Amino acid sequence: MNPHIHVERNLNREAATRRMLADTFGLVGDAPVTVTTGCGLEVAYAMTSARPEKVTCLPCREHATQWHLAAAADMERLAPGVGFTSRDLWKVAEHHREQARLFGSG
Ligand SMILES: [Zn+2]
């Protein structure tokens, strides 16, 4: 029994996709029983979180730090497009950098 709270390997990307599907099509109950974590384990979905204050597994915190830094860098590579400005992209990048700081300081 592993008492730690982990992050999902793809962090909230998969959860966000599921939420979007649930909102759009009314699909519920398709959350997986187990997920792969940032540290390579298979754990119950309930043993994962995307929130820095909840995650107690150190390798997962490091994984999440790197994931958010990569996500911030992705945002900065994007060009402003229809419906969003460079300031919107900056705000999203800044959100990822803040999450990376929170995961990194645990
Ligand atoms: Zn972990």
Residue 81, φ and ψ in degrees, nearest 5: -140, -160
The ranges assigned to domains in the chain are 13-104
**How many A from CA of 52 to the centre of ligand 1?**
13
Q: How far is the CA of 53 from the centre of ligand 1 (A)?
A: 14
The CA–CA distances, whole Å, from 19 to 31, 83, 86, 95 equal 9, 22, 26, 20
**How many angstroms separate the alpha carbon of residue 32 from the centre of ligand 1?**
17
**Residue 23 Cα to ligand 1 middle (Å):** 29
Distance 36 CA to ligand 1 centre (A): 9
At 75, list the tokens.
């945002």
106 has pLDDT over 60? no
Residue 32: is its pLDDT beyond 70?
A: no
> For position 29, what pLDDT does the model report?
58
What was the pLDDT predicted at 19? 63
pLDDT at position 3: 81
Q: What is the pLDDT of residue 94?
A: 93
pLDDT-based confidence at residue 102 (cuts at 50, 70, 90)? very high
Non-local (6+) Cβ contacts of 63 within 8 A are 7, 9, 38, 39
Give the tens place of pLDDT for each residue, 39-90: 999 998 889 998 999 999 999 999 999 999 998 998 888 877 777 788 888 8
Query: What is the distance between the terminal CA atoms of the chain, rounded to a whole angstrom?
Result: 22
